[in-house]
Amino acid sequence: MRTLYHYPLHPGCRAVRLCFAEKKLKLREVEINPWEPDDKFLSLSIEDVPPILTDVTEIGTVTIVGSQTLCEYADEASTRNLLMPSNRHKRAEVRRLCTWFGQRFDHEVNALIFPEKLETVLLGGAPDPEALREGRAALREHLDYMSWLLSLRDGLAGPAYTLADIIAAAHLSCLDYLDEVPWREVPAVQEWYQTIKSRPSFRPFLQDRVPGIRPPRHYSDLDF
């Protein structure tokens, strides 16, 4: 049995959940509080941050850490709905975009918006307007880059639905929960996201809720 320790509004955790759902692999989900992790979670890995997965295998219980690592682990666990191209050059492009979102997007956008819109509500305090302005400006630049990519191909990394699309959608879905994505200004990205949002694997995210923070009305709407 696979057990995923996750937080619902964490882009990396969402990407892993989405990958396992796409691959139709059974997964037991345990929600943890990143700000108050319990002793069991802390004993799993020195990283002490989600997502972390434990998998009971024929060689014993294996602990795996890291969003992209777990996403590729899921993809390799089944040949159904492959999320990585067979061509090594195309795989390189998928991994480039995964790294783009996991590092640059996370640093330039999430690291500025999430603390102000999420942590200040849950932990107390007032948001920093300057941090929000900087994060929103960076978000728009990333959305423009996505629009450019989507003007060249159907998916972010090529014609097929890949891990790059999953990881990007996971990031945007968390920001959308906080009503931070200017969809009307980037119609190509909106159309791409609508397609992903309509996939059966994505539906559970639309029911995710964080106590104390209500998503905008369009968050659960497939035709927004």
Within this chain, do residues 120 and 150 fall inside the same structural domain, yes or no? yes
Within this chain, do residues 63 and 145 fall inside the same structural domain, yes or no? no
58 alpha-carbon distance from chain centroid: 30
Among 41, 76, 111, give the residue marking a domain's end: 76
Mean pLDDT of the residues in the chain: 93
The mean pLDDT of 112-138, rounded to a whole number, is: 89
Instruction: Determine the structural domain holding residue 184 and report its residue range.
Output: 88-199
Structure tokens at 209: 């809720």
Instruction: Give CA–CA dist 93/131, Å, rounded.
Output: 31
Grade residue 101 by pLDDT with cuts at 50, 70 and 90.
very high
The mean pLDDT of 109-120, rounded to a whole number, is: 91
Within 8 A by CB and 6+ apart from 221, the residues are none
Any idea what the CATH number is for the domain that residue 101 is in? 1.20.1050.10
Provide DSSP, 143-194: HHHHHHHHHH-SSSSSSS--HHHHHHHHHHHHHHHTT---GGG-HHHHHHHH
Instruction: Give CA–CA dist 190/199, Å, rounded.
Output: 15
pLDDT at residue 9 in the model = 94
pLDDT at 122 over 80: no
Domain count, the chain: 2
**What pairs with residue 55 in β-bridges?**
2, 62
Within this chain, do residues 96 and 40 fall inside the same structural domain, yes or no? no
Grade residue 65 by pLDDT with cuts at 50, 70 and 90.
very high
Instruction: Give CA–CA dist 164/96, Å, rounded.
Output: 8
Asked if residue 42 lies in contact with residue 52, where contact means CB atoms within 8 angstroms, the answer is no
Within this chain, do residues 180 and 135 fall inside the same structural domain, yes or no? yes
The mean pLDDT of 123-140, rounded to a whole number, is: 92
Structure tokens at 196: 């992903």
The mean pLDDT of 84-98, rounded to a whole number, is: 97
* Strand pairing category for 2-6 and 60-65: unpaired
Structure tokens at 207: 């029911």
Grade residue 169 by pLDDT with cuts at 50, 70 and 90.
very high
CA-closest candidate to residue 47, choices 34, 62, 57: 34
Among 76, 102, 132, give the residue marking a domain's end: 76
Q: CA quadruple 93, 106, 9, 183: dihedral positive or negative? A: negative
The mean pLDDT of 130-152, rounded to a whole number, is: 98
Within this chain, do residues 15 and 62 fall inside the same structural domain, yes or no? yes
Within 8 A by CB and 6+ apart from 111, the residues are 135
The mean pLDDT of 92-118, rounded to a whole number, is: 96
Instruction: Give CA–CA dist 132/130, Å, rounded.
Output: 5
Within this chain, do residues 70 and 93 fall inside the same structural domain, yes or no? no
**What pairs with residue 54 in β-bridges?**
3, 63
The mean pLDDT of 126-153, rounded to a whole number, is: 96
Three-class SS state of 207: helix
pLDDT at residue 212 in the model = 87
Q: What is the pLDDT of residues 179-219, one digit of tens each?
A: 999 999 999 999 999 999 999 999 998 999 988 899 999 99
Grade residue 70 by pLDDT with cuts at 50, 70 and 90.
very high
Largest Cα–Cα distance of the chain, in whole Å?
Answer: 52
Residue 57 backbone dihedrals phi, psi, to 5 degrees: -120, 180
